[in-house]
Chains A and B, each alone.
Chain A
């Protein structure tokens, strides 16, 4: 009994596995093989070794049969494609465009979003930032004092380190220079797990003040400024007027954060370490191997609540957020990249649709070929397989050329893309990208190959030999494809239209000052040369006087940080006249300015007065606030005469408000307005100030004479970032411009492809309908009627596609919200505009086929039938 069950089971298994063979082979020999298997099975009384042998034999020969067919099909397909070289070229290039664009964008996504950071066990690396919901503070750094408490009280971290930027002046060489440095805790490199290329990194005791001061250089700085000197270790340079000894050079490609040129240890006695309000440090940590991000978050939550209770004046409401270092780095760019990936995906779909339509038309012309093959015994599946082999081959050819396109496109992307895309320099076509390309090529080939293969599957071909024409089914497929690609093109147009509208709105934003003919340059005087505020103030005054005297300079001023430059200083303060307020309850952007800053920048004075040269150290301290600050903190009162109380680097400072000025878009054209305060640079000059020169001529033409004027006062002074305000503004919108251009490019390609698709389908239809058109003309229809008929046929498809596209766009554009500026994701103007654009393009696409239809000669058309 069991024996018969086993026999019947093995029998069924075998007959099931026979389906692995190509249909022809199975139909021809399947039952014979089954017979042999059954006999053999019985003879060997079901020995497992027999079963294994039989199955192995089956698998190997099935594979061989398939390979045999594949070789035949590929051979045949290559000959077909070669014969129709024009057709092949068009299809391959269309696909190469779509696949190439996808490969390029995916390689960016792959590197930036998917590839782990180049550090050992990088998944353990986290970034910690603070936020305070009560103060509407979304994202701040952390203070060193808080971090020391976390380090002491949390068991989740293997190490925690912190850093902040530090401009570094190199002097004593031929030309004074300024570098972007990082001041960091000594365990910084251990946290990341990177080893130096030369020398060593910091030892734990190198944060002790007064010990020999040391510096680690980046590879790029070592190469560019020190000529890759192999003996650089132990050499000493003057940085920020102190002797520093080079102890190490990091390997190429390592820069954390990305703009860093050198690293210095943070002195352990620095006054910055004391205050919990110094939330301007970046904290990174390495989690212990078994600890998850969530566990670490829970621990830090407990500790921050404890700190909140213990230090309510500084820590009230402050919480922390832990993100993986990778998320922290790429979080902002992720939506942009995913949207772009979606957009190129659409472009590929549209390209594939066109190819499917072309193949469909070609299949129609090949009907006789298939009918004859069918008559000669080829099965339907065999012919479908042949067609799919051809389309996959086309897609693979397209994919190979697409990879070349992608290589070129990536060079452009890296060259012209904004530098602020993290890790953009690492982008390359690696194995993952090539697998992705292979995958989408195969998928594309299979999907668009299915459309022309469908009529075969329906058996319509067999009717061909009987003299029947292909039915309306194929025309319907074609129509659906046109509707689909029109809808996708509209969706992309709507998305890029919204970005363009945003960008135009952004261009209209008033920055709050006159941006024309302004030259800026950053001065970084050495602290030891100008130790007191008075000395600094006199230095700046002298520089300003020198430059003011230059021909071509209308006016000159200085500010600690220019608008839109990306740097900002935020100072907590309280208002003396308001009881029950603590320092730290409010904060505002802080700027130190020279007296005629507002006049130079053309920022309007709204109330009170501006500074003058008498607002110096001897005079009572004064402050000017912006309109937003006046509204927010002095809603129904006169701010003039009130006093702010600030903590200025450990010293209390209580200036009187003497004026209110207009708002400036300090944090970017798209950013919200912030409260801002301006103090007199003659009272509290900032270490490094930016000069702003209003010029009567092309601003950059003055840069040499202005530098010379500065060096007349101090020949060792590093001058950096010499640029026009217009350049600063265009840099500040460069990422947005880049997104807009890229999405616009994809939408443009989509529109073009869709128009070509509509045109192609109509041409084909006109050819098919030539006899019908001939009859209509013979029966008295005027050529204009025919013209209208064809236009109506095309436009009715487009109209359906447009409608579907509008629905899709309305559903999808909300994902763009984070990239939009003052535009609703369903902005009616944009939607109407892009619909109009699509209709216009579609009309043009219908025009040529309609013209051809008009020109049909009725007599010839009917004879042709």
Chain B
């Protein structure tokens, strides 16, 4: 199983941001954008086109699915089981890299 997950890694930063944004619940597109901005202190600002281009791919990959939401007219998305696993695997991969950086005292001043 984890072998299969490895084949999806590394995730593109945009994918990872979107998946992270959905980590704590369902959101619509605009919501995802706002959360991504929040997570990155405004450094990552997805355009609408880039966002839906990625959403389309993530849907095709089976990482996310469309679901019901509060507002009738908006489209909401949530993580699938696979999506959650992939996100976790990516986060772990990055965490390991951060560990390496720390062990080489590269993160001193932070």
Q: Which of A37, A56, A61 has the most CB of B within 10 A?
A: A61
Say yes or no for B84: interface residue by CB 8 A criterion: no
Say yes or no for A33: interface residue by CB 8 A criterion: yes
Q: Chain B residues with Cβ under 8 A from A37's Cβ?
A: 48
Is B55 a contact of A29 with CB atoms below 8 Å? yes
Is B47 a contact of A53 with CB atoms below 8 Å? yes
Is B49 a contact of A58 with CB atoms below 8 Å? yes
Tell me which of B45, B50, B53, B75 contacts A32 (CB under 8 A): B75
Q: Chain A residues with Cβ under 8 A from B73's Cβ?
A: 31
A45–chain B nearest beta-carbon distance, Å: 15
Write the chain A residue with the least CB distance to B45. A53
Please report the total number of B residues contacting A with Cβ < 8 Å: 17
Q: How far is the CA of A64 from the CA of B57 in the complex (A)?
A: 12
Say yes or no for B33: interface residue by CB 8 A criterion: yes
Is A33 a contact of B50 with CB atoms below 8 Å? no
Is A65 a contact of B53 with CB atoms below 8 Å? yes
Say yes or no for B51: interface residue by CB 8 A criterion: yes
Say yes or no for B39: interface residue by CB 8 A criterion: no
Is B30 a contact of A29 with CB atoms below 8 Å? no
Say yes or no for A25: interface residue by CB 8 A criterion: yes
Is B47 a contact of A35 with CB atoms below 8 Å? no
Say yes or no for B74: interface residue by CB 8 A criterion: yes
Given A35-B29, A36-B29, A36-B30, A29–B47 Cβ distance below 8 Å?
no
Tell me which of A31, A36, A40, A61 contacts B53 (CB under 8 A): A61
Is B50 a contact of A29 with CB atoms below 8 Å? no
Say yes or no for B8: interface residue by CB 8 A criterion: no
Q: Chain B residues with Cβ under 8 A from A509's Cβ?
A: none
Is A32 a contact of B47 with CB atoms below 8 Å? no
Write the chain A residue with the least CB distance to B29. A32
Please encode chain A, from 32 to 47, with 1 for each CB lying within 8 Å of some chain B CB and 0 for all others.
1101110110000000
A51-74 residues at the B interface, CB under 8 angstroms: 53-54, 56-58, 60-62, 64-65
* Total inter-chain residue pairs, C-beta < 8 Å: 55
Is A60 a contact of B49 with CB atoms below 8 Å? yes
Tell me which of B30, B45, B49, B56 contacts A35 (CB under 8 A): B30
A27–chain B nearest beta-carbon distance, Å: 12
B43-96 residues at the A interface, CB under 8 angstroms: 45, 47-53, 55-56, 73-75
A46–chain B nearest beta-carbon distance, Å: 16
Q: Chain B residues with Cβ under 8 A from A64's Cβ?
A: 53
Q: Chain A residues with Cβ under 8 A from B52's Cβ?
A: 25, 28-29, 32-33, 61
Tell me which of B28, B48, B55 contacts A58 (CB under 8 A): B48
Is B48 a contact of A54 with CB atoms below 8 Å? yes
Q: Chain A residues with Cβ under 8 A from B74's Cβ?
A: 32, 35
Is A62 a contact of B49 with CB atoms below 8 Å? yes
Is B47 a contact of A54 with CB atoms below 8 Å? yes
Q: How far is the CA of A37 from the CA of B29 in the complex (A)?
A: 11
Write the chain A residue with the least CB distance to B53. A61
Q: Which of A36, A37, A61 has the most CB of B within 10 A?
A: A36
A7–chain B nearest beta-carbon distance, Å: 16
Is A33 a contact of B49 with CB atoms below 8 Å? yes
A412-466 residues at the B interface, CB under 8 angstroms: none
Q: How far is the CA of A258 from the CA of B45 in the complex (A)?
A: 68
Closest 3 CB pairs between A and B? A57-B47, A61-B49, A33-B48
Q: Can you give 19 contacting A-B residue pairs, CB < 8 Å?
A: A29-B29, A29-B56, A32-B29, A32-B48, A32-B74, A33-B48, A33-B51, A35-B30, A36-B51, A53-B45, A53-B47, A54-B47, A54-B48, A56-B47, A57-B47, A57-B48, A58-B47, A62-B49, A65-B53
Binding site for A on B (CB under 8 A): 28-30, 33, 45, 47-53, 55-56, 73-75
